Amino acid sequence: MKAINYDGKVFHMLSNVGPGDVDPETVFFYHQKDDYLWGHYEGGEVLMGVILGKVRSDNTIEFNYQHFDKSGFLKGGHCISRPEVINGTILLHEKWVWTEGCAGSGTSILEEINDH
């Protein structure tokens, strides 16, 4: 698989199954240097959030996330995100688990926004 560079990529949520806070109004902004990945996200039920992780050789991303929800409550978790490229657009298939401030796990699909 060709290496994906996530630097400057912007995503929105297509689906979320489980006790997550992200919704279709949440937008994710990614940055990458070498195999280090970081970013932020906001919108919908998320006031502000950050991610920090690494990109594996198969383009899978492993990261931790933290955010404040609209009530100002701090939550955090861990996520493995597997990319799929369809017609040049990246879909991220995520498996996540809460590790702080909330319980449970779930799956999400993020879609790259190409016209930002």
The pLDDT tens digits for 56-97 are: 999 999 999 999 999 999 999 999 999 999 999 999 999 999
Give domain status of residue 111, yes or no: no
In this prediction, residue 1 has a pLDDT band, given cuts at 50, 70 and 90, of low
Give this prediction's pTM. Answer: 0.94
Range of the domain at 35: 10-103
Q: Is the pLDDT of residue 99 over 70?
A: yes
Give domain status of residue 92, yes or no: yes
The span from the CA of 83 to the CA of 88, in Å, is 12
The span from the CA of 91 to the CA of 99, in Å, is 24
Provide the pLDDT for residue 115. Answer: 75
Give domain status of residue 24, yes or no: yes
Give domain status of residue 114, yes or no: no
The span from the CA of 86 to the CA of 41, in Å, is 23
Quote the number of domains for the chain.
1
Tokens read off for 19: 């006790």
